[in-house]
């Protein structure tokens, strides 16, 4: 697999960033914008396939956080990490955490009915990510995460 990733300089051993955002449509929009800016700062071109993948995944996960994970007085958190192996980036991880740990995704990817008006967001994540899942985020939240292999 080839990638459109090039770096002028080697990244830090582990590059991680995170943002606390309001659980509103504006928060979801800001999550997408932050993700695009960060991925471009790591060396991808704005019109690259990787930036497209990240944008769509963050849009779906942020939308889920504000739709299904919203709790009054709480926002959500977006985290991105670029983890290298032997000095070269090998993995991009996206995590979105919300305060509603009791509200796990009802459907696994591939289970949305054909006539359903919603429930296809995780199908998009499943199609674009190499791996994804959920983890508890104590004391009461959950994290939806996905990983993108960078090849090479």
Question: Which tokens hold the place of 149?
Answer: 């292999």
Q: What is the mean pLDDT of residues 16-27?
A: 95
CA distances from residue 84 to 17, 40, 53, 61, 147 in whole angstroms, order as listed: 15, 17, 19, 24, 13
Which comes out higher in pLDDT, residue 77 or 101? Answer: 77
pLDDT at 115 over 70: no
Whose structure tokens read 């674009």? 128
Reply yes or no on domain 15-104+118-149 having CATH 3.30.565.10: yes
CA-based nearest residue to 80, from 19, 7, 129, 139 = 19
Least trusted range by pLDDT, from 18-22, 59-63, 79-83, 144-148:
79-83
Taking the CA of residue 152 as centre, how many other CA atoms within 13 Å lie in the half-sphere pointing to its CB? Answer: 15
Sign of CA dihedral 16, 109, 98, 117: positive
Q: Classify strands 76-85 and 15-21 as parallel, antiparallel or unpaired.
A: antiparallel
pLDDT at 139 over 60: yes
In the chain, where the domains are located: 15-104+118-149
**CB within 8 Å of 2: residues ≥ 6 apart:** 151
Q: What is the mean pLDDT of residues 80-109?
A: 79
Summarize pLDDT for 72-85 with one digit per residue, the tens.
889 999 999 988 76
- Structure confidence at residue 117 as a pLDDT band (50, 70, 90): low
54 vs 32: CA distance, rounded Å: 8
Question: Which tokens hold the place of 47?
Answer: 């019109």
pLDDT at 7 over 50: no
């Amino acid at each position: 697999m080839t990638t459109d990733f090039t770096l002028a300089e080697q990244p830090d051993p582990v590059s991680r960033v995170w943002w606390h955002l309001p659980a509103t449509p504006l928060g979801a929009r800001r999550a997408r914008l932050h993700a695009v800016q960060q991925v471009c700062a790591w060396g991808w071109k704005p019109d690259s396939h990787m930036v497209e993948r990240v944008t769509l995944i963050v849009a779906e996960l942020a939308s889920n956080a504000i739709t299904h994970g919203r709790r009054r007085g709480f926002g959500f958190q977006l985290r991105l990490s670029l983890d290298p192996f032997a000095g070269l980036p090998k993995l991009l991880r996206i995590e979105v955490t919300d305060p509603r740990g009791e509200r796990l995704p009802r459907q696994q990817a591939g289970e949305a009915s054909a006539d359903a008006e919603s429930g296809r967001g995780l199908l998009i994540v499943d199609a674009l990510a190499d791996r994804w899942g959920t983890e508890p985020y104590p004391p009461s939240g959950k994290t939806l995460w996905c990983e993108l292999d960078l090849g090479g």
